[in-house]
Amino acid sequence: MRRFGLLLLVSLPFTVAAQGDGCAVNSRSAAPDLTGSWAIEYDDQISVEVNIAGTVYEADLPASGGEFTIVHDGRPLTFNLDCSRPEIVCPSEAWPHTVDIEQREEQFEHRMIVTLPMQTCSTPLRAPAEGECGPGTLNPDCESVCDGEVSVHPQETFGVIGEDGSSFRLYLGAGIATNGINCALLGVSLADADLDNEGSADDGDWTAVAMDSGLVTVAYAGGCVWAGDPDMDSELEAILVGASVTFRTGFTGARK
């Protein structure tokens, strides 16, 4: 498999893209109509960010994923984002090439439902141990943790159209938290986009016709996608379990 070297990130944003507004979940104001089937087109690459104890590295991968290597504290570390792995949800899978959107609640038009590939755990979830979650960890909200295998199945996913109707945010990393080794999506996993609308709330015929500046973000614990020796020493294990690897790709959408 092709490998891609990484450079130390100094101060450079990955992609100029939409920042979805998820604050209108309980709004009763009008929202543009997104209901229906949408065709999604993606950028031809995935941007990668590796964060190890505050040191951040970046790279670009093809849309199908690949291996990439960093050198951290003199150690080469190779990560493997293989989109064919059954437990891995790549950006173009988290928000597929065709999506069907519903707005089911007449009183809450800003709420949107999309059926997407979502993750489940093969074993009962457990409460995180003391010190395993909270601010500064990969599980800041202390969600229940999966210690089993992660699999992917179609599931309804919740999103929110912004109060002014100009953007949306879809929550991809929901339901289970990583133990640092499995490939459960982190809570920062999102799909955002700006909306091009026709009509207005005032005339009662407000319809979204396109999605622009879209950005899909999926993130994992570093130990999940590390492709090195599984018998790693305790120091290296601690580094990778606490590290995060974030993948982003841009998209646009059009009504079908």
Angstrom distance (rounded) from CA 93 to CA 216: 10
Name the residue range of residue 224's domain.
3-255
Residue 23, token pair as written in the block: 């604050």
Mean pLDDT for the stretch of residues 44-52: 92
Q: Quick one: which H or E segment has residue 91?
A: helix 91-94
For position 2, what pLDDT does the model report? 35
- Tell me the sheet residues that pair with 49: 58, 246
Residue 8 in tokens? 């130390």
What residues pair up with 195 in beta bridges, in sequence order? 211
Q: What is the pLDDT of residue 19?
A: 60
| Tokens 């990130």 found at | 9
Rounded distance, CA 70 to CA 58, Å?
Answer: 9
pLDDT band at residue 41 under the 50/70/90 scheme: very high
Tell me how far CA of residue 118 lies from CA of 96, 98, 150, 174, 234, in angstroms. 12, 15, 10, 8, 31
Instruction: Identify the weakest region by mean pLDDT among 44-48, 152-156, 190-194, 231-235.
Output: 231-235
Q: Using DSSP bridges, classify how beta strands 3-5 and 65-72 pair: parallel, antiparallel or unpaired.
A: parallel
Q: How confident is the model at residue 15 (pLDDT cuts 50, 70, 90)?
A: very low
DSSP state of 180: S
DSSP state of 11: S
Contact 144, 176 (CB under 8 A): yes
- 175 in Cβ contact with 146 (< 8 Å): no
DSSP state for residue 129 in the 8-state scheme: P
Widest distance between CA atoms in the chain: 65
Q: What is the pLDDT of residues 141-188, one digit of tens each?
A: 898 999 988 988 888 888 999 999 999 999 887 768 888 888 899 988
Q: What is the DSSP annotation of 184-248? A: PPPTT-EEEEEEEEES-TTTT--EEEEEEEEEEEEEEEHHHHB-S-SS--HHHHHHHHH-EEEEE
Cα–Cα distance between 14 and 176 in angstroms, integer? 27
Domains contained in the chain, number: 1
